Amino acid sequence: MRRLLQFKAGLLFAFVLLTSVALAQDKKPASPHDSTTAVVAGSTIKIKYGSPYVKGRKILGELVPFDKVWRAGADSATSITTSKAIKIEGKALPAGRYAFFVIPSKSGTWTIIFDKNPKQWGAYTYKESNDALRVTVKGKTAPKSESLVYTITKNGFNLKWDTFEVPVSIK
């Protein structure tokens, strides 16, 4: 009887151990937070964002609807900080920290918005009256990217996700 109890206790211990190890595997956050920093046009640019995954969903036109303000990431609004005044698509943006929003359209143009209130949850409290700058850019098709990624280049920055890319020039 004692051996049977020890055997059952051993099996229970092994089951609990294996279950906890299995559950601990591949536990990524739904939208891990990320950032990127680089110098462009003499200004240090920092972008902080939540990076959602496609996970088999239709992104443009559904998860990210056309003609509506989107936070350009997950969770809190994406933020962009510039250490010096810069020109975005030829228009002046003073040094500072901004919430970054976009409005995609079916035609492939994207309205790029730098909002004066950098601490917002999503785009739920977005108000056009808080815009520091609005410009329009042309999006393009890109190789599939499962997670949303921002990259900063010598010419500006890119938002890439799913099969689209949105380049924004900085001078």
Q: Is residue 43 part of a domain?
A: yes
Q: Is residue 23 part of a domain?
A: no
Report which of 81, 63, 39, 66 is spatially closest to residue 148, judged by C-alpha positions. Answer: 63
Q: Is residue 20 part of a domain?
A: no
Report which of 165, 169, 162 is spatially closest to residue 140, judged by C-alpha positions. Answer: 165
Q: Is residue 66 part of a domain?
A: yes
Q: Is residue 24 part of a domain?
A: no
Q: Is residue 37 part of a domain?
A: yes
Give me the residues of the chain with pLDDT under 50, please.
11-12, 14-25
Q: Is residue 151 part of a domain?
A: yes
Element (H, E) at 148: strand 140-153
Q: How many domains does the chain contain in total?
A: 1
- Its domain, for residue 126, covers 30-169
pLDDT, position 22: 44
Q: Is residue 18 part of a domain?
A: no
pLDDT, position 146: 97
Give 48-96 pLDDT, tens digit per residue: 999 999 999 999 999 999 999 999 999 999 999 999 999 999 999 999 9
Provide the 8-state DSSP code for 72.
S
Read off the pTM: 0.82
**HEC readout, 12-38:** HHHHHHHHHHHHHCCCCCCCCEEEEEE
